[in-house]
Amino acid sequence: MLLALAAIVGVGAPGAEFTCTPTYVWSADGPIWCSEGMQFRLNGIVARQPDGSCAIRGGCPAMDGRKARDLLIRLLQAEHTEVLPSDHVRVLGAVPLRCTWRGIIANIGSASCTALARTNLVFPTGRDLACHLIYGHAAKEWRQQSKGTLRGCAKAAYVSA
């Protein structure tokens, strides 16, 4: 059943790896659209939407949704950004990500991601992007989804945004 739904929404099987060069971002927890054709949410976190709403009652951090999204964009180190009338942000020249499919939430794939090697990274290669958003107070761990895998992020992540 999960693999059938994965095929419908265009994601790989849980555990499958892929590369994503971000082209559009909606909020700090996603979706993130990739030039390679996929889109996904960051696994295990919840953040405010640009309009300030939260998908999980009482689950979002206090940070404004647009500020949280801006932190994600800073971490992606886009060379150029453009806010569209829909409130999506087009990002050009962002850091490529190495991601792993984790599952499907609300008909969209979720993935955990790290940066591919590149000089002068804001978040180091091998460190989970979701952890940096938790550490930066732009997102909170969604334990029902993460199953505790991000529990140490608030202490372990390093953000210089």
Mean pLDDT, consecutive 10-residue stretches, the chain (161 aa), reads 42 85 96 95 92 84 94 92 95 93 84 77 70 88 69 53 35
The answer to whether residue 33 is domain-embedded is yes
The answer to whether residue 67 is domain-embedded is yes
Per-residue model confidence (pLDDT) at position 39: 94
Per-residue model confidence (pLDDT) at position 146: 61
DSSP annotation of 27 reads S
Q: How many Cβ atoms from other residues are within 10 Å of residue 64's Cβ?
A: 13
The answer to whether residue 89 is domain-embedded is yes
The answer to whether residue 161 is domain-embedded is no
Outline where DSSP puts E strands in the chain: 17-20, 22-25, 32-34, 39-42, 45-46, 80-83, 89-92, 97-105, 108-115, 140-141
Q: How far apart are CA 142 and CA 77, in angstroms?
A: 25
The answer to whether residue 99 is domain-embedded is yes
The CATH number of the domain holding residue 122 is 2.40.50.90
Q: Is the pTM of this model over 0.95?
A: no
The answer to whether residue 29 is domain-embedded is yes
Q: Which residues contact 128 (CB under 8 A, 6 or more apart)?
A: 112, 113, 114, 150, 153, 157
Domain count for the chain: 1
CB 60 within 8 A of CB 33: no
Domain ranges, residue 33? 2-156
Q: How far apart are CA 131 and CA 112, in angstroms?
A: 10
Per-residue model confidence (pLDDT) at position 161: 35
Per-residue model confidence (pLDDT) at position 1: 39
Per-residue model confidence (pLDDT) at position 160: 36
b/e code 17-39 from CB counts within 10 Å (16+ = b): ebebbbbbbbbbbbbbbbeeebb
**Is 72 in a helix, a strand, or coil?**
helix
The answer to whether residue 107 is domain-embedded is yes
